Amino acid sequence: MTDAGTLTRADLAESLHRNVGLSRADSARLVEQMLEKMCHALAQGENVKISGFGTFVLRDKGERVGRNPKTGVEVPIAPRRVLTFRASQMMRDRINHGG
């Protein structure tokens, strides 16, 4: 992992290279293909569920009125689609109990 504690695409590809034995190029290509498949599914309105990890869920948020916190002026917030992630129970247990 990088110094900032962030797992990157390159880190995933390197892990595939070391642990599975794929070439670096094939490992990088596989990571890109997996991410592309996930992005495509989400763009098509599908949720993405990875057992033991979590679920990426799309939600449609309706139009609403918001308020500028500095001025207090009300402004309309357009309807939009938001992406959320819900960790699986197994993932939450691992995070909370160091597993």
The model's pLDDT over 78-92, given as tens digits with 9 standing for 90+, comes to: 999 999 999 999 999
Give the pLDDT confidence score for residue 98 in this predicted structure: 75
Domains of the chain: 1-45 (4.10.520.10), 47-99 (4.10.520.10)
- pLDDT classification of 97: cutoffs 50, 70, 90: confident
Angle subtended by helix axes 9-20 and 24-43, to nearest 10: 130
Q: What is the mean pLDDT of residues 61-81?
A: 93
Give the pLDDT confidence score for residue 94 in this predicted structure: 92
Instruction: Classify burial at 44, counting beta carbons within 10 Å of its beta carbon; exposed 0-12, middle 13-18, buried 19 or more.
Output: exposed
Give the pLDDT confidence score for residue 4 in this predicted structure: 65
Q: SS3 of 11, please? A: helix
Q: By C-alpha distance, which of 49, 59, 47 is closest to 91?
A: 49
- For the stretch 10-59, pLDDT in tens is 999 999 999 999 999 999 999 999 999 999 999 999 999 999 999 999 99
Q: SS3 of 46, please? A: coil
**H helix or E strand, kind and range, residue 89:** helix 89-97
